[in-house]
Structure 1
């Protein structure tokens, strides 16, 4: 499932609690919608209740309803999956595949369920934090405390840290060596090994100069863009079974890199993420940047195939709120979709006040397509480039319009000559034609011949009466499985319907289309293309026209199915076997010339760039509370707004004609907001020091950890806002502190978790750093900046099942920085999978750090690791002719230091004893490659002291 990883620490204690966001967002609404009516407080069929955890644990007449973690032993699973002939639940219909998958994931993950008591009981309820909780109070800048060792602090950070240590009779660790500090600083700020052509800084002035150089580098922007993309759950595909590639997602990634490179204030970045498209833009470049920034809202994991469009709309809003809450507020908002948050002062009214803002925002092109699609927004160009592009687009548009007109003339009636007739027979039309006389009609339709031409003996009209009571269903006899263009023939005129609803059932699902039948003056036969779909030979399929919700006359004449894989010539040749009319010959010649001209024009011009984005809804409105999270059980309307417990000062007023996204961004980044600056500072502290001041970096609620140094967190948050939300300025304060420059080898027995920071945390390097370090040692690292990473990603036809092959069959061959490696949701680079790259279906607050056998096996046996080790061996062998120098080069390139004498002797013995007298150059290279693989397998390579 697309959102199978949305298991956050939502509604239980963070201390070993099961992840419950999946339950709150998917399982609770599912049970309410499908199960509680028969297995709830009012009725217990089979003695089973499913409205509490105790209910399914006790079970009914057949025993417990499920066994957590054991799918095959769970009766509930057998019932909903229809595996048991005698037990099928719900009895009237099978659950959707997506709902069954949700239940499967829930049971396999241990069936976490926060419903401690039966609905209506008041026993066992936990205390709920209120607005007085520490994180909901505005940060206060308390002056740094006095310390006894006044010589040790280098800045205010150190004073807060040292004061806490001294209060516990603890001493800070000694300073790290210049070499260790050089490597630590390089990887922390750039994600790359240090440049060893520069000596390690020996003085504080030299160290500060190095810090400034790294902060100004492109590598710094790339490294911290990687962190930012983690919390914004950046990906280049939608995830799920049919995972659609996001061809323009890379533009959001490049926006983030460039913003960090240019030190754009983080409050400005957050504002552009939420409302960039509605901010004023000084020029085309600013407009491109701001529109692209809203990809933050569009790039989430979305089940575009969801047929319940009301559920799809709310799921998108819920995912956006969950991401925004955890990324910027450090709050798990998802629980409040179904009920007031159990532990934090966030009510369901707060949730739907925020939801109204995002429900008033368009994230999809429409909510009618069988497979929905995100919004692709054309981007403006600068100056002459825009003028040239507009000229090119006008030329291409005119040619396409001419081509479409000629094709219509050829394909609509087989020949333009047929247009002069009053009636057109089915045999005159190409493809498979189902006339209205062969269609199944519901309701009273009028047979009419008022306006010619028409197909057969006339056409049908609903007479502008009985709206919602009339349908016409066309069922074709498909002789051959394939793709067919579906065209609706109707009788147009000035009094016709502005929009008539048409449903197409095809082999891959169901599509809903709206057809405009009204014209200014033209009367008579018209054809509307409904799209191209796959139909199976003798399979189920139909086209159904309805007059529901239409204003004006709805007319229906016939439906035409044209084989999509056949050319115009093929189709026409089938009907005009002998001789073509002069008109048709002339039109086909014109068509060939126009298509040739279009191809030349398109080849010589540039396509307008597009970005994934969102847009303002034309009819913004407040949301209704969804009782128990159900989209079909609606309560009171909630005015759009913000979290009440976090409101200090005057909240921005939301205009009735706007979504409120701009005001949401203003509230999030306000000096009065108690959460955002704290959360941002804490995240950056986590990235630099290896653990946050609040270790639960995306949970500042009552189930998260309390800050180890609350005064320091507040101090940094206030100064961060006063310094203009500058990422670089804050990071410089952190890495210039004496705290950062301590050794990591010092251990304090009174503080085993190092919460007081008596020494620097030793950190396992993340997957990107490991891969980039290997490529750097191999001399194969491609340092090209920005741009599209997946050239194969093109605009997709959502009905084409082959598009998912791009992700599942993708070969990760590039050697660019890992930031640019294809970020698919279902398939990641093999090294990322092994070395704890977190699931990007949700914001990644902090990576899991595991040490498992598969990591060592991967470094030993992965073809990609072996390939890079051989390249690294080539670098070593070219560095010098003697073994000792080569050993030193290998150590420097991989571990950024020289070997000790003992290490040098051991490696020399290994090389000399393993190398035979008749060894080929390839044998020698492979021998050195195995030695380099050994270096890459050491803790020293994988960890940062």
Structure 2
């Protein structure tokens, strides 16, 4: 009898245990968290808030329509206040976890009391429960959102493997690596490091003289000298400008239905010039936001304000002027938020921001700074219909030969041409109102220009105009601007920022993987006068940057996404960089800097399929350029918003209707098709094959030469054997079909060279194989 009772009790216990696990009362993965060490000091922003956001905000967060029991845990008042349905109890009682309702509910074994409730399919693991307990017992220190707290330099961590460190960056990175019982990777091979630095600073593969210099001496002193040499190249400014064009939503067309031509390339010339002369980032921003309002503003400072006029503009007759004018002002406001401050300001246009501490009033106070420019919603000079009298919508800057010669020599304008470039120029003060639901025709209360106090109060000493806004944006106490830019530079070098969501530093954005490092770099950047080249060099001289990208089984298991930075990152280059890489290694690249946009190869008929019909402007039909214009850097390819360059769109380039900070990363069959069949790619392979075929070398020398020109390094024996076999097979195919060899060598408009067609065609196909390697299109 006793045995039967015992068996029944055991079965009942097992049933209860199974029920509890299914209901989420016990976490099935508790064992994996028991060994994790709790931090010495539990931080609200980085330890507690993510737990609450993931598990509690669904029912007790910012959405009032879904909120239960009247409890709101995403505010300080709700977190430390009394329970609305039980006034005798508090959510959190500092220094006393046992009396805190939150802790009681997350540790309860009662299915009716445990939080999150079992039917939510959410649960806290043991480590998260311990974190909350320790935080409460430490006094439950609360802080506003981390990104709204001005960055400060934390003391450098002390690490065991200190000899690996090359500068302050490494101290912060190594601390995370060692905390996870890992070791950093070895330094990258010389050829890899040479290629990496060149691609990062110029967007192009290194020249032979740079390769030799670094190969002979790979000390940090040598690397510093080669970095300085790259800074001195015009291609540095072009590389840095490339990503800024996405932020600035630069295009050569107005957008919307007609999508006619606009002349904004002189502003692009200024951006390249600004990076090449290493204009400090704070001035770089001030000039673009408000260069026209500076005392005795120069033509260069005025031209820089074209940044604010890069947005789409309609040319459609019959539109409501105020509707579109309001959209342009909103665009500038949103670009300030996303591109410079890392905030989703646009979420507050129609209502108070659901997550960040930004009200609709805050939005329109920022909107007011950009609401003074003298412009119309319809821009008629873009419509190039026959017998139409054109006029330019003010304000614009008229660039004459004399002005270019005396004040803007970096603008590569043809002599005799007169060019109008859109710029900023405030008119008489204009009243700004909060727009009900964001609608242009529903003004409510009037607001004055101001900045969100939750970010950083707008000083009474600053003028209430764009210049005041620019100075507020670049104030050393503004918590966002330096952080956002440092993070963007980091993402250019490592493929991802320390904050992955480079466009969103708000509550819904990702937390920084290395918050102390991000803050240290941001403060250090400002202390060194916002010097962009100083920042780049600081990062590139770190052991962190110079690591190999090879992944060990241990790193793959512990940190497959390389969040700990225990190795260098590998990621595919942008479409622009891939095309420029191929042009450079083939010898086709036209190194001319600046000037109007060009139209290289493009499949026929694409523009005709997307235009509005009729013959309204120069962008109705694609007329390909000829000669050396076909081989300009991709930076200068004409950008039509309704149909951007297809060979770059395939590799995730945006259409530039809006500010874009972070391009998406995809991997599609179309990308392989573009690399194999794009006319520019085939032409580059032909030209390189012709150059090598002329030297009358044997196959080993020819293939080694081509391989090294494309990938910097020499092929190993297995790679060389594979290429030789492919080359031999291709030669045999063409021996039996010389006509196909000659057809293949007809690709592209670059001059043909009199070489053996069979040998050259086989070499061309082999070259194309190397161009299609993952290693060729990957930055690592």
TM-score > 0.5 by shorter chain: yes
Residue in 1 that maps onto 2:308: 297
CA drift of 1:383 comes to 8.4
Residue in 1 that maps onto 2:559: 751
| CA distance 1:381–1:364, change in 2 (3 Å) | farther
| CA distance 1:942–1:661, change in 2 (3 Å) | same
CA drift of 1:380 comes to 6.6
Residue in 2 that maps onto 1:647: 456
CA drift of 1:758 comes to 0.8
2:454 is paired with a residue of what secondary structure?
helix
1:187 aligns with 2:203: no
Tell which deviates more after alignment, 714-723 or 748-757: 748-757
8 A contact 2:450–2:458 mirrored in 1:
no
CA drift of 1:366 comes to 7.4
Residue in 2 that maps onto 1:615: 425
Residue in 2 that maps onto 1:278: 293
1:734 aligns with 2:539: yes
Residue in 2 that maps onto 1:205: 221
Greater C-alpha radius of gyration: 1
Residue in 2 that maps onto 1:151: 163
1:708 is paired with a residue of what secondary structure?
coil
2:195 is paired with a residue of what secondary structure?
helix
8 A contact 1:739–1:757 mirrored in 2:
yes
8 A contact 2:260–2:382 mirrored in 1:
no
- Give CA deviations for 1:501-531 in whole Å, capped at 9, x if unaligned: xxxxxxxxxxxxxxxxxxxxxxxxxxxxxxx
| In 1: Cα distance, 2:642 partner to 2:716 partner | 44
8 A contact 1:277–1:291 mirrored in 2:
yes
CA drift of 1:303 comes to 2.6
1:227 aligns with 2:240: no
Residue in 2 that maps onto 1:872: 688
| In 2: Cα distance, 1:384 partner to 1:851 partner | 44
When normalised by structure 1's length, the TM-score is: 0.60
| In 2: Cα distance, 1:628 partner to 1:612 partner | 30
8 A contact 2:321–2:377 mirrored in 1:
no
Residue in 2 that maps onto 1:806: 619
2:765 corresponds, among 912, 930, 935, to: 930
1:887 aligns with 2:703: yes
- Give CA deviations for 1:842-889 in whole Å, capped at 9, x if unaligned: 222122222211111222222332222211211221244321111011
| In 1: Cα distance, 2:551 partner to 2:303 partner | 46
CA drift of 1:820 comes to 1.1
Unaligned runs of 5+ residues in structure 2 are 1-48, 54-60, 78-142, 384-391, 408-413, 601-610, 743-755
Residue in 1 that maps onto 2:356: 344
1:786 is paired with a residue of what secondary structure?
coil
| In 2: Cα distance, 1:789 partner to 1:727 partner | 27
1:703 aligns with 2:508: yes
8 A contact 1:356–1:640 mirrored in 2:
yes
CA drift of 1:682 comes to 0.7
Residue in 1 that maps onto 2:713: 897
1:772 aligns with 2:580: yes
8 A contact 1:129–1:345 mirrored in 2:
no
| In 2: Cα distance, 1:159 partner to 1:895 partner | 32
Structure of greater relative contact order (alpha carbons < 8 Å, 6+ residues apart): 1
| CA distance 1:137–1:14, change in 2 (3 Å) | closer
2:615 is paired with a residue of what secondary structure?
helix
1:637 is paired with a residue of what secondary structure?
strand
2:631 is paired with a residue of what secondary structure?
coil
| CA distance 1:905–1:167, change in 2 (3 Å) | closer
CA drift of 1:344 comes to 0.3
- Give CA deviations for 1:603-625 in whole Å, capped at 9, x if unaligned: x98354432212111x2134111
1:304 is paired with a residue of what secondary structure?
coil
| CA distance 1:839–1:606, change in 2 (3 Å) | closer
1:377 is paired with a residue of what secondary structure?
strand
| CA distance 1:934–1:790, change in 2 (3 Å) | closer
| In 1: Cα distance, 2:625 partner to 2:160 partner | 55
CA drift of 1:907 comes to 2.1
- Give CA deviations for 1:149-176 in whole Å, capped at 9, x if unaligned: 2211111001111112112222111111
8 A contact 1:291–1:611 mirrored in 2:
no
| CA distance 1:742–1:379, change in 2 (3 Å) | same
CA drift of 1:363 comes to 4.1
| In 2: Cα distance, 1:654 partner to 1:905 partner | 70
8 A contact 2:315–2:379 mirrored in 1:
no
8 A contact 2:63–2:354 mirrored in 1:
no
Structure that is richer in helix per residue: 2
Q: Number of aligned pairs?
A: 605
Q: CA RMSD in A?
A: 3.3
2:619 is paired with a residue of what secondary structure?
helix
After superposition, residues 419-498 of structure 1 pair within 5 angstroms as: none
8 A contact 1:365–1:374 mirrored in 2:
no
1:666 aligns with 2:471: yes
CA drift of 1:715 comes to 0.9
| In 2: Cα distance, 1:636 partner to 1:336 partner | 16
When normalised by structure 2's length, the TM-score is: 0.72
8 A contact 1:322–1:332 mirrored in 2:
yes
1:718 aligns with 2:531: no
Residue in 1 that maps onto 2:276: 261
1:673 is paired with a residue of what secondary structure?
coil
2:370 is paired with a residue of what secondary structure?
helix
CA drift of 1:940 comes to 0.9
| CA distance 1:838–1:124, change in 2 (3 Å) | farther
Tell which deviates more after alignment, 782-791 or 755-764: 782-791
CA drift of 1:828 comes to 2.4
| In 2: Cα distance, 1:624 partner to 1:122 partner | 36
| In 1: Cα distance, 2:647 partner to 2:524 partner | 39
| In 2: Cα distance, 1:733 partner to 1:216 partner | 17
1:378 is paired with a residue of what secondary structure?
strand
Residue in 1 that maps onto 2:148: 136
1:681 aligns with 2:468: no
| CA distance 1:126–1:369, change in 2 (3 Å) | farther
| In 2: Cα distance, 1:944 partner to 1:607 partner | 41
1:828 aligns with 2:644: yes
8 A contact 1:14–1:703 mirrored in 2:
no
Residue in 2 that maps onto 1:218: 234
Residue in 2 that maps onto 1:942: 777
CA drift of 1:769 comes to 1.2
| In 2: Cα distance, 1:943 partner to 1:934 partner | 15
8 A contact 1:276–1:290 mirrored in 2:
yes
| CA distance 1:855–1:218, change in 2 (3 Å) | same
CA drift of 1:663 comes to 0.6
1:301 is paired with a residue of what secondary structure?
coil
2:189 corresponds, among 154, 173, 177, to: 177
CA drift of 1:648 comes to 4.4
| In 1: Cα distance, 2:220 partner to 2:415 partner | 55
2:299 corresponds, among 288, 292, 295, to: 288
After superposition, residues 554-565 of structure 1 pair within 5 angstroms as: none
| CA distance 1:699–1:288, change in 2 (3 Å) | same
| In 2: Cα distance, 1:832 partner to 1:384 partner | 32
2:624 is paired with a residue of what secondary structure?
coil
1:635 aligns with 2:452: no
1:761 corresponds, among 558, 569, 586, to: 569
After superposition, residues 348-367 of structure 1 pair within 5 angstroms as: 348-364=360-376
| In 2: Cα distance, 1:381 partner to 1:364 partner | 28
| In 1: Cα distance, 2:459 partner to 2:670 partner | 54
Residue in 2 that maps onto 1:329: 341
Structure that is richer in strand per residue: 1
